[in-house]
Chain A
């Protein structure tokens, strides 16, 4: 029983990370109908920026509340800029072209980021994993039995941050004018432009928001697994996309539910069978969902008009 509880804690911790990244995916897909393959790698960049900042700050400063917040904010800001640049330079020129072109571009950027960061030149860190400096002093918040089940402060914090961000996003999308603009653009960006909505700006800001969220996820992931390495974004990105699809792509709470579900299932499969199936779980889940209920758990069935 105790390890069952521990598995649940681990699964939720993993699922939270997927959720934050999935939120970005779902938003971008909503407005652009584009699977942003590079999203996972933006997360990786965020983790590295956080690593560099925390390292510069030194042990005392970085574990203080202000220090930790600064690490987060700085990394989110950097990734927002990165997201803006990617959208502006690579995706905007191709908006009117067939979707395949944008998809290939997204793959290209993902590749360039992953393998670029594996080089050892200049500020590029190289492929060897590095330990992420402590920015949250880990303390145990709950112990059951003789350390049979342990819950840490940063696990609860991650979850809380993810839920808070999701609520903020939900508010943003449904209760503000900007959110209405986002939804309008996601229905049909040409008509939205005719209605006077600055589509380019809306899309750019959506990208920036998504990338910022990914950066936050990156730092939380680095805290959870204590290392940063250039390929950390690849599988997280893919699994977050799977989570978004499971929940219904375009649907914000759906992405969160899908992500938690995926995290839990993955943890249980690995815990009770073997770790080699970890990655296959996500894809198997995806294929199942796409075959049985392609619109996802919360999505609506849309008829494709010709």
Chain B
């Protein structure tokens, strides 16, 4: 008797809920069978699209008067093991905003950015972006660097109709989340191809092993493309080993790779692990060079990798050796503001912020859909890390550079165009 009454009570409860939802939103959302339109329209959690048309203002008493500031949001890994990614990106963004404010701002208002740290973890990134969108009411979100974190943030931005620009996430799935998500860097299908081409044609290698990081979408994506393209060009992948980001002992996997006798090892991971991998590889007797992607780009690579990483190659977005006036001006400005040479994260952060500012200037008003439309029109934008024209998937088509790791400085080796 008791379970029956319990079931009755539950049914009652759901009728209540059902009726409630109908009153709030008219007919519940139609079944569309896919991710867009946002599924949240069918629940009562209230994440309606109404938020973003409210003129952006920080909810607390910020030092500057609310109406004069356009607030952007940024999520980055300021702490955690990939701290240099977040810090460099933030520096690049802040430099761009400072210049824009000095030049008069956007539509007469100053631009400011609110930065949240996600410690390098996707769940924290999702938390931070929820706060930015629902609490701080930012106009646009810049971030993140790691593709896994961007993937965690994108659905919220899409359903909240807040345009998001990722400066350096290269996994193609990020912009595929929806039409509010943009990026200013090349994507992994291209990056994997770059390294495969370089290895096969420039270095004339025919056998390669791969050591991938199973914890990052970036690494998995690059591995897939690299193995595919390298085999297509006539090379042979002699082995694929895996590790998890944060591991410190790779000797077991490297021993297995040593036995495979490759000409090179493709390690599309982040600099914290790559440095150690290089050291341990040399230690157990591997002499061949390592190949990698833009996740290697950090000044910490030399500290962690020592002499073991010197001589290896990686694909990147721009090279500080590039003599073009745009790059050199940026280098001077960055050096004046922060000292030191900007890595590609900083350059891309700078570009992303400038693209955002440009779109806000072009847009008729500062609502989410208008900024989005203006962003989608970005064409031939002069970025430091290449000219940016966004295609129909909101990704730019840009060339990549291949750098060789020297001691303390990277050496430019080649440019590879799509």
Contact = CB atoms under 8 A, between A and B. Distances in A.
Interface stretch (B145-153, B218-226, B250-258, B409-417): B250-258
A149 B84 CA distance: 36
Interface string B245-268: 011111111011011000000000
B214 A232 contact: no
A6 B81 contact: no
A77 interface: no
B259 A227 contact: no
A278 to B, nearest CB: 7
Nearest to B243: A275
A150 B249 contact: no
Interface in A25-77: none
A152 B81 CA distance: 28
B304 A129 contact: yes
A87 interface: no
B276 to A, nearest CB: 6
Interface string B179-195: 00000000000000000
A120 interface: yes
A126 B79 CA distance: 8
A128 B119 CA distance: 10
A148 B242 contact: no
A225 interface: yes
Contacts of B252: 7, 10, 267, 270-271, 275
A304 interface: no
A126 to B, nearest CB: 7
Given A128-B80, A131-B306, A271 B255 contact: yes
A131 B275 contact: yes
A138 B249 contact: no
Interface stretch (B9-17, B279-287, B314-322, B371-379): B279-287
Contacts of A14: 249
Given A126-B79, A225-B276, A131 B255 contact: no
B276 A278 contact: no
A1 to B, nearest CB: 10
B201 interface: no
A128 B276 contact: no
Given A128-B300, A225-B248, A227-B248, A270 B81 contact: no
B327 interface: no
Interface residues of B, number: 36
A150 B306 CA distance: 20
Contacts of A302: none
Q: Looking at chain A, what size class is its interface with the partner chain?
A: 35 or more
A43 to B, nearest CB: 14
B83 interface: yes
A3 B79 contact: no
Interface in A281-295: none
A6 B284 contact: yes
Given A226-B276, A276-B244, A3 B304 contact: no
Interface string B187-219: 000000000000000000000000000100000
Contacts of A152: 283
Contacts of A231: 246
Contact of B304 (A127, A131, A147): A131
Given A10-B251, A14-B249, A227-B248, A150 B214 contact: no
Interface of B: 79-81, 83-84, 119, 214, 241-244, 246-253, 255-256, 258-259, 272, 275-276, 279-280, 283-285, 287, 300, 303-304, 306
Given A128-B81, A129-B248, 6 more contacts: A128-B80, A224-B249, A229-B81, A231-B246, A271-B252, A271-B255
Interface of A: 2-3, 6-7, 10, 14, 118, 120, 126-131, 138, 143, 147-150, 152, 224-227, 229, 231-232, 267, 270-272, 274-276, 278
20 contacts: A3-B259, A120-B79, A126-B79, A127-B79, A127-B83, A128-B79, A129-B81, A129-B248, A129-B272, A147-B285, A149-B285, A150-B285, A227-B248, A227-B276, A270-B252, A271-B253, A271-B256, A275-B253, A276-B214, A276-B242
Per CB-CB distance, the 4 closest pairs between chain A and chain B, nearest first, are A147-B285, A271-B252, A270-B252, A225-B248
